[in-house]
Amino acid sequence: MPIWLRRTLGAILIPVSVLVAPAAAVAAALLVASVTAAVAVFVAAGAVVLLAGCVGLGRCCGRLLGVRWGARSGAAVAIAWTVLAAFTVFQPGPHPGAGPTPDGVQFWQLPTGSRIAYVHSPGGSRTPVLFLHGGPGTPGEGLPEAAASLSAAGHPVYAYDQLGAGRSARLADVTGYTVARHVADLEAIRVVLGADRIVLIGQSWGASLAAQYLAAHPQRVAAVVFTSPGPIWPGAHPDGGIGDPWQRMTPAQRAARDALVARPRVLAQALLQQVNPDAAHAFVGDDEADELMHRIAALGKDGTGCPDSPPAAVHGNHQGFYVNQLTVDDFARVADPRPALRDVRVPALIVRGDCDFVPAATAEEYRRTLPGAILVNVPGAGHAVARNQPDRYRDLVTGFLEETP
């Protein structure tokens, strides 16, 4: 080979090798992470491939260029990539944790193995009411709107943080966050309460969960309110029936969100989550991931209401990232509950704000599926009907339950 051609190939190979070696290292780390969640093991695999690739390609470049320092240069490139990764991929983000438990929060230790945080407003001897929050993984703060009226009417009222969110326990194996687990927890709560039947009030994803529970345990539900419901089943709608609140973000909010999710550490977590969610969880723990979810949600919170609505409240920093991600994935795979729900004769109220980002067809699917279900559209309300129109929402819910035998 002519010297000029050899040296030209060597010069071309230098920038190629600088990129190829780290790409091979990432692929190796992901391959090993697909079979183990041990961070030290899959990071070490990537490091070995990075060093071997840089040194090997550096030696090859050196031979083509006719110099002796190719291997040393390759090792220097590997060190440079390692230092860069140390200050980006391996630099933890904010992870403040949920902080002290507020007064009034109590816990159930369920036979399912879940430790569930809840707040309670005592009532009389009427059927207990359970509020199911949205997200998944986005609990409310305290008792929701209408709780006081329901309690005054004689209903014991409970609002609990679903497994993996709020003050409730997190799972070590995040693949355990499934729709079936949430349904099993809800049934276990009913048993702990000693209630033959319960009233369910589900917000957003909580409405989807209420529908799943109703399909599995129809005889245990006295009445159900679906508030700003998420999809009854994602497969019922071409777009999943969820809608996209991010389309309502301002350019500045969208840029801030993109900056958060484009960080190398977040990208690495996303890649790991695709091959092994437990490896992603080991790499980026709950506190850090929950804080990331909190910051992203804070940017998009105002896109869920009407254009002229006052700024929405920000949820506390105890949202559940992994329960959100894994439950959403599992929800896309569950069986269609609609055949079972078409035979359920349980009083059902569907409440939807006319500015809700979730498509109207999603709420309409509940009305078509559940026999005798009533759908009410609330003007001047977005996804958070109870916050946007509290008096109207309270009257709808309490009036509905008063009329329910």
143 C-beta neighbours (distance < 10 Å), count:
19
pLDDT in tens, 154-187: 999 999 999 999 999 999 999 999 999 999 999 9
Residue extents of the structural domains in the chain = 3-87, 106-403
Q: How far apart are CA 351 and CA 375, in angstroms?
A: 6
Residue 218 contacts residue 183 (beta carbons within 8 Å): no
Question: In the structure, what pLDDT confidence band is assigned to residue 138 with cuts at 50, 70 and 90?
Answer: very high
Question: In the structure, what pLDDT confidence band is assigned to residue 96 with cuts at 50, 70 and 90?
Answer: confident
Which amino acid type is present at position 7?
A: R
Q: How far apart are CA 250 and CA 171, in angstroms?
A: 35
pLDDT in tens, 279-334: 999 999 999 999 999 998 888 776 777 877 776 666 665 899 999 999 999 999 99
H helices present in 69-172, as ranges: 70-87, 147-152
| DSSP state, residue 173 | S
106-403 maps to CATH 2.40.50.140: no
Q: How far apart are CA 284 and CA 234, in angstroms?
A: 28
Would you call 286 helix, strand, or coil by DSSP?
Answer: helix
Report the C-alpha dihedral over residues 234, 235, 238, 243, rounded to 10 degrees.
0
Residues, the chain, total? 405
Q: ∠ CA(325), CA(321), CA(119), 5° rounding?
A: 115
381 C-beta neighbours (distance < 10 Å), count:
25
100 C-beta neighbours (distance < 10 Å), count:
7
Residue 221 contacts residue 195 (beta carbons within 8 Å): no
Structure tokens at 211: 């529908």
The predicted pLDDT at position 191 comes to 98
Residue 272 contacts residue 263 (beta carbons within 8 Å): no
